[in-house]
Homo-oligomer: A and B are copies of this chain.
Amino acid sequence: MSAGDDDAPPVAGPLREPEPTRRRTPAEEARTLVAAGSLGSLSTLTAEGAPWGSLVAYGQLGDGSPVLLVSTLAEHGRNLRRDGRASLLVAESVQAGDPLDAGRVTLAGRAERPAGAAEQAARAAFLSAVETARDYVGFGDFALYVLRVDRVRWVGGYGRMDSPAAVDYRAAAPDPVAAVAPSAVRHLNADHGDALLAMAREPAGFTDAIAARCRGADRYGLDLWVTTPRGSGPARVGFAEPVREAGGLRAATVALARRARAEAE
């Protein structure tokens, strides 16, 4: 939707320069999305070198490298033993809306059998993600693999995409507030419309805002949708410091609301 659409309401921008804000980097987006899931589509190579897709569960090491536990009897297990080149596609789970507008990440590289301490770490990482695997992780026909990622492709939805360097992917931290963000957003919209309105007016610069809804929360701030007499539009407000753990989102949001109200006085 753009301001030029015939039947769309006008899109309004801020009346005053908003305070600068940060967003998650593409590497952080990719790490966050992979950290949120435990199920992906694995692409491997058949004996003829043709691509083969299969559904797999995955865990992950501290640097975001996926850990797989594959049956050597399964096609993808035989494929990996012959040629470790593989890619893992992880898609955001979507309840409603256009699924092609949802996030997904492709991690490509080489799957390797870990040994010694690395195998213990990989096993622990897999079991932490897939608890039911405890029943079969020790079976002789199952093999642990770590996908050594050398390419990352992140798609956040229509028009939001990037290819962060693998080294940046490994160094980035998943967003600690991702899991609690949806319930925080619901709570803000249900009970704190006044605080959101104050944020829209002050740090976000929509000085004539008459209403504001929260559309997303992450470690760096909130995404708002602001209504004004001129139309409505998106706004971004930032926390003073990035939130470092899930439990910190509430305090950061309260502090942001307090600052917004203070600026308004």
Contacts and interface: CB of A to CB of B under 8 A. Distances in A.
B55 A91 contact: yes
Given A41-B91, A45-B50, 11 more contacts: A43-B87, A44-B51, A50-B87, A51-B86, A53-B88, A53-B106, A54-B106, A55-B100, A55-B155, A57-B99, A98-B132
A52 B100 contact: no
B153 A75 contact: yes
A89 interface: yes
A108 interface: yes
Interface of A: 39, 41-46, 49-55, 57, 75, 85-89, 91, 98-100, 104, 106, 108, 132, 153, 155
Contact of A85 (B51, B57, B87, B153): B51
B85 A53 contact: no
Task: Please name the 5 residue pairs, one residue from A and one from B, whose CB atoms are nearest each other, closest first.
Answer: A41-B41, A53-B89, A43-B51, A43-B43, A43-B53
What is the total number of copies of this protein in its complex?
Answer: 2
A99 B130 CA distance: 11
B50 A108 contact: yes
Contacts of A52: 43, 51, 87, 106, 108
Contacts of A99: 39, 55, 57
A41 B108 CA distance: 14
Contact of A54 (B39, B45, B86, B89): B89
Nearest to A110: B50
Nearest to A56: B100
Given A43-B43, A75-B153, A53 B98 contact: no
Give the interface centre of A45, A54, A55, A91 by most chain B CB atoms within 10 Å. Answer: A55
A45 B55 contact: no
Contacts of A91: 41, 55
A19 to B, nearest CB: 35
A256 to B, nearest CB: 34
Given A132-B98, A153-B75, A53 B53 contact: yes
Nearest to A85: B50
